Amino acid sequence: MRGHGDLRLVVGGSLLCAIVALALPWPVVSLVFAAPLALFAPGYAVVAAAFARHSLDRPRLAVLSLALSLAVLAIGALVLNYLPGGVNGVSWAILLLAVVLGCSRSAALRRDRKPGPLRPPRLNPNGLELGLALGGLAAVIAALVLASTTLPAEPAIGYTELWIVPQPESEGREAEVGVKSEEQETREFDLGIRIGQTRIVRRSFTLAPGEETVVPIGPLAGPPGSIVPVVATLLLDEDPTTVYRRVQGSLTSPPVTG
Amino acid sequence: MGVLVCSYANALSRQMLDPSLAIFWAGILLIALPIFYRLTSRDASPAERLALVCLLGLSLYAVKLVRDAPIFIFSDEPVHAFNANEIAAHDHLFRFNPILPVTPSYPGLEGATSALMTIAGLSSYWAGAVVIAVARLSLMAGLFLLFSRIGGSARTAGLGAAIYTANFNFLYWGTQFSYESLSLPIFVVMLMAIAERGAKPRDWARDWVAPIVLGISAIVVTHHLTSYALAAFLAGLALAYWLVERKWSWQNPWPYAAITAALATLWLVLVANSTFGYLSPVLGGALEAIFNTASGGEPPRELFVGRGSATPVAPVPARAVALLSIFLLLAALPFGLRNVWQRYQRQPFALVFSVAAIAFFATLALRLAPAAWETGNRAGEFLFIGLAFVLACAGLQNWTPRRRPWLGRAALTVGLGLVLVGDAIAGWPWDLQLASPVRARAEGGTISSPPLALAEWARRNTPEDGRFAAGIADARLLLAPGERIALAGKHPDIEDILLEPAISNWELPLLQKHDIRYIVADARDVARDSTRGYSFSTADELINPRSTVVKFSEIPSAKRIYSSGEMSVYDLGGGRP
């Protein structure tokens, strides 16, 4: 690809982007490298190969590069689906590099003229235009930050979640009872867990909005393999006569071993 | 600044302060009017016009982003996000989707999104947002270059692309993370490619083959309706070429029409045969509704009224603006058609665009037939491309009265602003123009809406293979961000299981047949609404009878393992925690 500065830039840049994007553990920074690799380079290479003997003007080249990159991604997933390894980050990077390299090589071989040196479009903004552009960018960033900010919503009705679920890998011998406050203000709770007919576990706690507490229960001491019902009842400390939430499950006694 | 104003309006709405929509529309106009006015001028260069239409398209997309970031809330978005998550998690396409089973058969969007998810480690939300943003950029630039090639005028092209942003679905529906949001931009770029191919010397024709076939193939694997629309458009264009030239010249795009039809048919038969079952009730229902409404057997659909009695109706001024926008489009049409005929009667693209422009108004009639509304709405997105070109040729910008030479440009700018706002009102429910909160700040902590909290709880506490039955809004959030399989709606008939006051004989076998382990019993009436059912409850919320929730306690093996007040989860799997 000697003499084809654009193709060398696309191939070299894609290789660099693929390595860095896969290596970086921070998604947002990784996107800076993944985006040109996935959303521009494949399309550019396809256009370069297709129009090796003619040259498109810059706007058409740019639009086709973007749209055909999207097309390569849509079709590429289909190709990867039937290849060993399937659709994952490494296989995507290899496929995109293969498209870029293959099409660029084809373009270099078929071109009957060397393109002029790559020149970025000339932008000569005056102070006002530059200020407006930077101001606009700042406004968009501010808009996105505002949109991502969680705000108070006082008319929203708060509530509390209560659940009972098995502990993973315990085969029903252990469980956890969870309470998460989605209330608008800090509240005091009384949790009663009745295990079988006789055993009762009580907890009193205070949860701020968004806070969660989990009470583990089990294993049971009882006849092996027996199933015991469990009922968890949540009361609000301010209204202890009314059941606020109630859930139910069961525990299994461990089998006799040895 | 306009995007910031829109973000501010949404921030007020997320605080449930009931802000005036005037703030939001002011933001939209702040984005659009300066661009419209500049596009009407004779001074701007083609490069500036291209930059302006791209800025317009991206800014209006940013309006959608600042509405709900960073969570997918539009009705189809969780469905497609689930598909993308499934691809990233399991390394393969064509996995099961319980709510829209046809969507995994068209994996173009989710496949493309998976590239950014897996290479950069992004969530499906941000990866999808980047893909749709690039698609929007392609759409706007593609429209500009298409119109520029056909009309031979950058001024007409810029106005045409700007007019297109006023179609009903541009602001919201067309920006959601859904397959058409990717396929439509590629569709436009393919039209641009066909137009360029026809305008270049013959020895260029072979150069266009690979890009066009690649684009067509991408559309075919991305979205059913867009591939059929492309086949129809190219067939119409081929016919227009023949009518103009009376011979099958090399410029005639009939081979591409044939390739599109062949690929779409092959994909439909070999890969996506569930599309028949998905589309036929929609299209069949639309035809039936048209007949019934036209024959008086069914009352016409009320405009500006959402589903359900609790849905607010657009106020009179908003309806007036929406109707005025349609009137303005209709009023400009004859002038546009006259000019197109005078200038471009030998230009096949312009002829097809003229037919599309007229057909657009025919689809408006479909809005009066209840079951045909959606068909007309979706067709409008494609037909509006033609309408945008025709209206750009109407020439109001050239009206320069001697005393006020700016009047034509100003009138066009104001008219475009009205059409942009009016069509956005007509294309999206009035009460959903601004965001509702799904998360809120309280005493320094963050709380989530009931369906979102349930979805997050399910992701943390239920097995990956545990299948849910839920209302259609709850089920969507269970798909994403919940990452659980959730069935909803009428096929299978989960809706009646959830709504009936008592358990019937047929229900348990149906649940067993579909391997349902968890039932989400939600007393909130809005849980059945896929566009509104995601936010917090309010004091005036409609609640279904308690019997619709507690009836599941009658199932012998069922245990209520989760409760958040109006929402409960029953475990049918033996109740063994």
Q: Which residue of A has its CA nearest to B196?
A: A60
Please give the C-alpha separations between residue B484 and each of A131, B178, B276, B480, B566, in angstroms, as whole numbers. 48, 19, 26, 8, 21
Contacts of A82 in chain B (CB under 8 A): none
Q: Which amino acid is at B399?
A: W
Which residues 121-180 of A are in CB contact (within 8 Å) with B?
Answer: 121, 135-136, 139-140, 142-144, 146-166, 172, 175, 178, 180
Contact B559 A151 (CB under 8 A): no
Q: Which residues contact B226 (CB under 8 A, 6 or more apart)?
A: B179, B180, B183, B184, B186, B187, B219, B382
Kindly state the average pLDDT of the residues B285-310.
69
State whether B14 and A153 contact (CB < 8 Å).
yes
- What is the pLDDT at residue B314? 84
Q: How long is chain B?
A: 577
- d(Cα B310, Cα B543) in Å, to the nearest integer? 11
Q: Among A73, A93, A249, whose Cβ lies nearest the Cβ of B561?
A: A249
Confidence of residue B288 (pLDDT cuts 50, 70, 90): confident
CA distance B182 to chain A (A): 8
B193 touches chain A (CB under 8 A): yes
**Is any Cβ of chain B less than 8 angstroms from the Cβ of A182?**
yes
- Three-state secondary-structure class, residue B177: coil
DSSP A233: E
Helices B77-90, B472-479: inter-axial angle, 10-degree rounding: 30
Let me know the angle formed at the C-alpha of A222 by A220 and A225, rounded to the nearest 5 degrees.
Answer: 85
- Is A105 an interface residue toward B (CB < 8 Å)? no
Helices (H), chain A: 5-23, 27-39, 41-50, 58-81, 89-110, 127-148
Domain boundaries, chain A: 5-117, 159-252
Cβ contacts (< 8 Å) between B444 and chain A: which residues? 208-209
Q: Residues 6 or more apart from B342 whose CB is under 8 A from it?
A: none
Q: Nearest CA to B65 among B118, B124, B6?
A: B6
B559-563 and A159-166 strand pairing: antiparallel
Is 50 exceeded by the pLDDT of residue B575? no
Nearest to B564 among A74, A159, A252 (CB): A159
Residue in A with minimal Cα distance to B271? A78
* Residues whose CB is less than 8 angstroms from the CB of residue B25 and which lie 6 or more positions away in sequence, other chains included: B421
Cα separation, B170 vs B392, whole angstroms: 17
pLDDT tens digit sequence for B451-472: 999 999 999 999 999 999 999 9
- pLDDT band, very low/low/confident/very high, at B282 (cuts 50, 70, 90): confident
Q: What is the pLDDT of residue B121?
A: 95
Please indicate whether, in this complex, the C-beta atoms of A161 and B441 are within 8 angstroms of each other.
Answer: no
Q: In the structure encoding, which two tokens stand for residue A188, read together? A: 């005091």
Q: How high is the pLDDT of residue B286?
A: 72
pLDDT tens per residue, range B487-523: 999 889 999 999 988 888 899 999 999 999 999 999 9
Q: What pLDDT shows up at residue A35?
A: 97
Cβ separation of B536 and A157 shorter than 8 Å? yes
Which of B83, B260, B447, B535 would best serve as a mutation to test chain A binding (most A beta carbons within 10 A)? B447
Is the minimum CB–CB distance between B458 and chain A shorter than 8 Å? Answer: no
CA–CA gap between residue A118 and residue B484 (Å, rounded): 50
Prior bond of B70 cis (ω within 30°): yes
| pLDDT confidence bin for B188, thresholds 50/70/90 | very high
- Contacts of residue A122, Cβ cutoff 8 Å, sequence gap at least 6: none
Give me the half-sphere count of Cα atoms (radius 13 Å) on the Cβ side of residue B457: 34
For chain B, say whether A213 makes contact (Cβ under 8 Å): no
Amino acid found at B290: I
Please count the residue pairs, one from chain A and one from chain B, whose beta carbons lie less than 8 angstroms apart: 326
Handedness of CA B524, B528, B534, B539 (dihedral sign): negative
Cβ contact B447–A158 (<8 Å):
yes
- Mean of the per-residue pLDDT values of chain B: 92
CB of B571 less than 8 A from some CB of A: yes
Judged by a CB distance cut-off of 8 A, whether residue B51 touches chain A is no
Q: Please state, in angstroms and as integers, the Cα–Cα distance from residue B392 to each residue in A172, A187, B354, following that order.
A: 69, 61, 12
- What is the rounded distance in angstroms from the CA atom of residue B356 to the CA atom of residue B434? 32
- The architecture CATH gives domain A159-252: Sandwich (2.60)
Nearest Cα of chain B lies from the Cα of A186 at a distance, in angstroms, of 8
A106 close contact with B: CB closer than 8 A: no
Q: Which residues partner with B364 through β-bridges? A: none
Cβ–Cβ < 8 Å for B48, B131: no
Which residues in chain B touch residue A163, judged by CB atoms under 8 angstroms apart? 457, 461, 561-563, 569
Q: Which residue has the higher pLDDT, B369 or A94?
A: A94
A89: amino acid identity, one letter: G
**Which letter does DSSP use for residue A191 in this model?**
E
How buried is residue B278: exposed, middle or buried, by Cβ count under 10 Å (0-12/13-18/19+)? middle
* Phi-psi category of residue A218: left, alpha or beta, with phi > 0 → left and psi -120 to 50 → alpha: left
Question: What is the least distance, in Å, from the CA of B480 to any CA of chain A?
Answer: 18
State whether the Cα torsion B169-B172-B175-B176 is positive or negative.
negative
- Does residue B576 have a pLDDT over 50? no
Encoded tokens for B251: 């410029």
Tokens representing B406 are: 């700016």
Instruction: Give the residue among A1, A15, A8 at the shortest CA–CA distance from A98.
Output: A15
B19 touches chain A (CB under 8 A): no
CB–CB contact B440 A151 (8 Å) = yes
**Residues B41/B409, Cβ–Cβ less than 8 Å:** yes
Whether residue B523 lies within 8 A of chain A, CB to CB, comes out as no
Q: Is B271 on the interface with A (CB under 8 A)?
A: no
Can you give the pLDDT at residue B297? 74
Q: Which of B111, B137, B200 sits opposite A73 (nearest CB)?
A: B111
For residue A252, which residues of chain B lie inside 8 Å, CB to CB?
A: 576
Asked if B87 and A87 come within 8 Å (Cβ–Cβ), the reply is yes
Q: Is B134 on the interface with A (CB under 8 A)?
A: yes
Kindly report the number of other CB atoms within 10 A of residue B542's CB atom.
Answer: 11
- Angstrom distances, CA of residue B361 to CA of B30, B164, B285, B327: 29, 15, 20, 11
CA nearest neighbour of B521 among B554, B497, B557, B539: B497
Chain A nearest-CA distance from B338, in A, is 30
* Residue A44 near chain B (CB below 8 Å): no
The 8-class DSSP code of residue A167 comes to P
Mean pLDDT of the B226-252 span: 94
Residue B325 pLDDT > 90: yes
Going by C-alpha positions, the residue among B276, B254, B281 that lies closest to residue B265 is: B276
- Is the ipTM of this structure higher than 0.90? yes
| Partners of B86 in the β-ladder | none
Please indicate if any CB of chain B lies within 8 Å of the CB of A214.
Answer: no
pLDDT at residue B543 greater than cutoff 70: yes
Chain B contact for A68 (CB, 8 A cutoff): yes
Domain ranges in chain B are 441-571
SS3 call for A229: strand
What's the rounded Cα separation, in Å, for the pair B272 and A130?
50
Instruction: Return averaged pLDDT per consecutive 10 residues of chain A, 258 residues in all.
Output: 85 96 95 97 96 92 97 97 95 97 94 67 80 91 93 95 91 92 96 89 95 91 82 94 94 71
Tell me whether residues B65 and A147 touch, CB distance under 8 A. Answer: yes
- Report CA-CA distances (Å) from A131 to A125, A126, B6: 9, 9, 22
pLDDT at residue B248 greater than cutoff 90: no
What is the predicted pLDDT for the residue at B237?
Answer: 97
Average pLDDT over residues B392-421: 89
Please determine, for residue B104, whether its predicted confidence score (pLDDT) is greater than 60. yes
- The verdict on a CB contact (< 8 Å) between A247 and B537 is no
pLDDT for the residue A114: 65
**Contacts (Cβ under 8 Å, ≥6 apart) of A54:** B200, B204, B207
Architecture of domain B441-571: 3-Layer(aba) Sandwich (3.40)
For residues B437-446, average pLDDT: 96
pLDDT top residue among A133 and B291: A133
